[in-house]
Amino acid sequence: MKNCLDSIINFVDLDRIKILVCDNNTVEKGCDVYLDEMSSKYNVEVKKFTDRTRNELYRAMNWAVKYARKQGFDIINFIQD
C-alpha cells in the first residue's frame, strides 16, 4: 500500500483529488502509523474497517461509493495495492 500511495502523491495534483483509503483490517506492520502520517500530511482520508474480516474487499468498496456520492464526487476510481 505504501508504494501505491507514495506513487499517487508523487505524480498526481493533490489539489484536484481526494484520496480515500479503505483499510480492510490490514495486518501489515506499521500500516496504521503510515496511514496516520499520510492523513496528517496530505489530503488523505482513512476509513478503517476493524470489525470486518480480511478479504471483504467489495464491502469496503461499496462503502466508498456511498461515501463519494454523499460528498458529491463526480468520479470515483479504485486502485488496489
pLDDT-based confidence at residue 24 (cuts at 50, 70, 90): confident
Amino acid at site 29? K
At residue 41, does pLDDT exceed 80?
yes
At residue 57, does pLDDT exceed 80?
no
- Please state the rounded mean pLDDT for residues 73-79: 87
- Please state the rounded mean pLDDT for residues 6-28: 85
- Nearest CA to 1 among 16, 15, 33? 33
Task: Quote the distance between the C-alpha of residue 77 and its chain's center.
Answer: 11
